[in-house]
Amino acid sequence: MKTILLATLAMLTVVGTSTAKSPKTQTNVIAHRGYWKTSGSHENSIASIKKAVEHKMYGAEFDVWLTADNVPVVYHNSKTANGILIQNTTLADLRAKADKLPNGEVIPTLDEYLTAWNHGSTKLICEIKRHRDDQRNRDIVHEIIKVMNAHNVGADEAQYITFGRTSIEELLKADVPQEIIYLNGDMTPQELKDWGVDGFDYSYKVLDQHPEWIQEARELGLSSNVWTIDDPALMQKYIDLGVDYITTDDPILLLELLKKSKKKK
């Protein structure tokens, strides 16, 4: 009897362990601001999305601002290199006055960026920047959706990421088919789930304090992404933690590490 009881307990322990630990999924590479650490490219440029597709990156992250005349453009900082505040400037003025990107391109519109992407296998990780007020944080969501729809971007071809709670609320209201991901690092996976978003994309500085959030997210059906990691030891740490995505400025290095990790398994 004792033996049977022990055997049953052992079996329960095995079952318990296997359900508590979901199977590890493959970590995927997100090229931060596209693939730009290569000749002829620059962050958030047309070349950066083309090269991300060429090199079969899983995803390419990029940043979107709304011009004063409601055109979404792809650029990181709020101001151009020569100090023009994008959200206060029309596209025509931006084209006339802004410095070119170091690779010779002009700041691309989202429409131009999506044309260059051309439904390549690389997923679009679209960061919606925080604008000066709630109205503009809502406006940008709708202008981006218009462009995405004009290009027939599918549910699995893109995800939206943002630090801005107003933009998240607007994406939820618009019921976009793509994933909605929160960047700000101040909510637990359960809070995100209750809010209705699909996952987090948090700084490694946040996740270093809460590595358990990766597993918690998986158990809740949320995705996990960590930014921005260029150090191989830190990349390996997050591969081992089973994060879904690592966002990096060095996607080739991460691809190599992932290949090695796969071989070891």
Q: Which is nearer to Mg ion, 128 or 239 (CB)?
A: 128
- Write down the least CB distance from residue 32 to Mg ion, Å: 7
- Write down the least CB distance from residue 43 to Mg ion, Å: 9
- Write down the least CB distance from residue 127 to Mg ion, Å: 4
**63, 170, 179, 244: which one binds Mg ion (CB under 5 A):** 63
Q: How far is CA 78 from the centre of its chain?
A: 19
- Write down the least CB distance from residue 200 to Mg ion, Å: 15
Give the binding range for Mg ion (CB under 5 A) out of 4-12, 44-52, 58-66, 184-192. Answer: 58-66
- Write down the least CB distance from residue 163 to Mg ion, Å: 9
DSSP collapsed to 3 states, the chain = CHHHHHHHHHHHHHHHHHHHCCCCCCCEEEECCCCCCCCCCCCCCHHHHHHHHHCCCCEEEEEEEECCCCCEEECCCCECCCCCEHHHCCHHHHHHHCCCCCCCCCCCEHHHHHHHHCCCCCEEEEEECCCCCHHHHHHHHHHHHHHHHHCCCCCCCEEEEECCHHHHHHHHHHCCCCEEEECCCCCCHHHHHHHCCCEEEEEHHHHCCCCHHHHHHHHHCCEEEEECCCCHHHHHHHHHCCCCEEEECCHHHHHHHHHHHHHHC
Binding-site size for Mg ion (CB under 5 A) equals: 2
- Write down the least CB distance from residue 124 to Mg ion, Å: 12
- Write down the least CB distance from residue 36 to Mg ion, Å: 12
Q: Which is nearer to Mg ion, 127 or 179 (CB)?
A: 127
Q: Which is nearer to Mg ion, 160 or 213 (CB)?
A: 160
**29, 31, 65, 127: which one binds Mg ion (CB under 5 A):** 127
| Contacts (CB under 5 A) with Mg ion, residues 32-51 | none
Q: Which is nearer to Mg ion, 219 or 249 (CB)?
A: 249
Cβ-closest residue to Mg ion?
127
Give the binding range for Mg ion (CB under 5 A) out of 109-117, 121-129, 176-184, 247-255. Answer: 121-129
Q: How far is CA 214 from CA 47, 58, 134, in A?
A: 33, 19, 31
Q: Which is nearer to Mg ion, 63 or 139 (CB)?
A: 63
Q: Which is nearer to Mg ion, 94 or 161 (CB)?
A: 161
- CB distance 160 to 140 below 8 Å: no
Residue 179 is a binding residue for Mg ion (CB under 5 A): no
- CB distance 257 to 232 below 8 Å: yes
Q: Could you list the residues that contact Mg ion (CB under 5 A)? A: 63, 127
